Structure 1
């Protein structure tokens, strides 16, 4: 059944994480096609940036988990640059927040239900209010993200709502672990980890200006407005170092 839902795509291996070589337009069509199918299967999407891939290289269980997703898309310029270095170029970067926004447009057009899970009680409520105003034909519900992964009360609440989409903004690895653990509690539902997107949709945080996005340096803007991210940024040079090691290894193989 899964093969009928998902259009098979070329896989690109970046440090053991298998990305789908797709564009944003491809993903929009894939999502639309998923909802046209009559199935109880779900659609699990991972939007992975260098920080996530670096973490996955050091945590085998997490790497195996995300590689079981239906789609892994490159949310980060560093992923696309790495694919070029490894001579297996990915077509485009697919920002998770933009993919989520396209899902909202589909939900609005089809009068679908969207569940927001994550962040604080106030922020997720603000995100729902603003998204409901922007997409009045969709139906929204929410719950904050400070929950135990085994909290069945939240699962029961979500099941009563019966959503078409569940966007989980707990940050990695928790959001993907929550999806993997509970996805079988739902039917014909798209589930996607969205990191800090709920903060942006709520208005609590600003997304990078268009110039930063065009130059593919959104991470610089995020660092400028929040220096607490500096520690997390160490994963980027670690990621690139690991990519360079693979690149050198491949060159030696080709010479031999």
Structure 2
């Protein structure tokens, strides 16, 4: 059975959330595991990649790309090669933290504002005492500080590098610095640290099950409306791309 599906030029894993976490854990447990870049791709990234060569290269070189958005899943069904479900960055991170607590993995938290970064590290350490926070760095840094940050990550050698710089900034940062990062897995997690720290509430489970988390976030954060304008454009492009993917 084919393990991937292509949606508008981007190749997605057909793994479920549970399967995705299992795949990443399997990679982490290899003695000779090299760098694995995990990307949770939403419609915005798909649309941007159509006219951004670097972003296309990033997606093409990633070790794993998941469908972070119901729009991606619906488009895959329309295109005749369905993905099983939405696999979000937050849910993957929660799965990795759970496993990390059992297996003793080390994490480096990079991104978010200083207070959120510190609080997220505190919450994670308290909830998953079996894992280790190898280091952390907020995302409000000056360009000239980047070398120091990369050096700190390299010295910490975490199993998993968690980057909360927003998408696709996190993906670009990881791609450009991949040769300098001695980590087993790295992924951008969007606003996940904000949720963990309690700064932002995630949509209630009923909204998630109805695939309306995007609407809940829009209602909770009206300033996001400009970002949502890409969704109808994505839908139209998916409609007319049938037979060409």
TM-score by length of 1: 0.90
Size of the aligned set, in residue pairs, is 242
Aligned mate of 2:22, from 22, 29, 52:
29
Aligned mate of 1:243, from 219, 222, 238:
238
Q: What is the rounded CA distance, in whole Å, between the counterparts of 1:33 and 1:24 in structure 2?
A: 14
What do you get for the CA RMSD once the two structures are aligned? 1.7
What per-residue deviation string (whole Å, max 9, x for no partner) do you get for residues 2-23 of structure 1? xxxxxx9622111111111111
Shift of the alpha carbon at 1:79? 0.5
Q: Which residue of 2 aligns with 1:217?
A: 212
Q: What is the rounded CA distance, in whole Å, between the counterparts of 2:153 and 2:54 in structure 1?
A: 26
Aligned mate of 2:185, from 184, 190, 208:
190
Q: What is the rounded CA distance, in whole Å, between the counterparts of 1:205 and 1:58 in structure 2?
A: 32
Counterpart check, 1:17 vs 2:10 = yes
Q: What is the rounded CA distance, in whole Å, between the counterparts of 2:206 and 2:22 in structure 1?
A: 27
State the SS of the aligned residue for 1:231: helix
Aligned mate of 2:103, from 106, 110, 135:
110
Q: Which residue of 2 aligns with 1:145?
A: 139
Q: Which residue of 2 aligns with 1:83?
A: 76
On the 8 A contact 1:35/1:188 being kept in 2, the answer is: no
State the SS of the aligned residue for 1:66: helix
State the SS of the aligned residue for 1:58: coil
What per-residue deviation string (whole Å, max 9, x for no partner) do you get for residues 162-193 of structure 1? 21110111112210111112222233521001
Shift of the alpha carbon at 1:40? 4.8
* Gaps in structure 2 of 5+ consecutive residues: none
On the 8 A contact 2:27/2:33 being kept in 1, the answer is: no
TM-score by length of 2: 0.94
Q: Which residue of 1 aligns with 2:61?
A: 68
Aligned mate of 1:227, from 200, 222, 226:
222
